[in-house]
A = this chain, B = another copy of it.
């Protein structure tokens, strides 16, 4: 696992319910990739291969548009270390949730 990314997809929506419905479709798409992910209040983190992750990140906004958003903002973080591993979600989060 040479990379980890986090993405907040923020669709234009008429109200909170519509916003949540669209974001849920994006999260469902991310989970459907089968990669390890971690849903947080502002962003969803995913770990895997850098190129694959960036393709997923790109697709997230298409998903939001297809789900009905006329426009979308996104905020993305990337951690990429081609040789060797980045810090895993497991290592960064688990101890804090016991």
- Give this chain's copy count: 4
- Size category of the A interface is 35 or more
Contact B78 A74 (CB under 8 A): yes
Decide if the interface of chain A is mainly helix, strand, loop or mixed.
Answer: mixed
List A1-33 residues whose CB lies under 8 Å from chain B: 4, 6, 8, 10, 16, 20, 27
Binding site for B on A (CB under 8 A): 4, 6, 8, 10, 16, 20, 27, 38-43, 45, 50-51, 54-55, 57-58, 61, 65, 70-83, 86-87, 89, 91-93, 96-97
| Extra pairs beyond A40-B41, A41-B45 (20, CB < 8 Å) | A6-B41, A6-B43, A8-B77, A20-B87, A27-B96, A38-B41, A39-B97, A41-B92, A50-B61, A51-B58, A54-B54, A54-B57, A70-B83, A73-B77, A73-B78, A73-B79, A74-B77, A75-B76, A75-B77, A76-B78
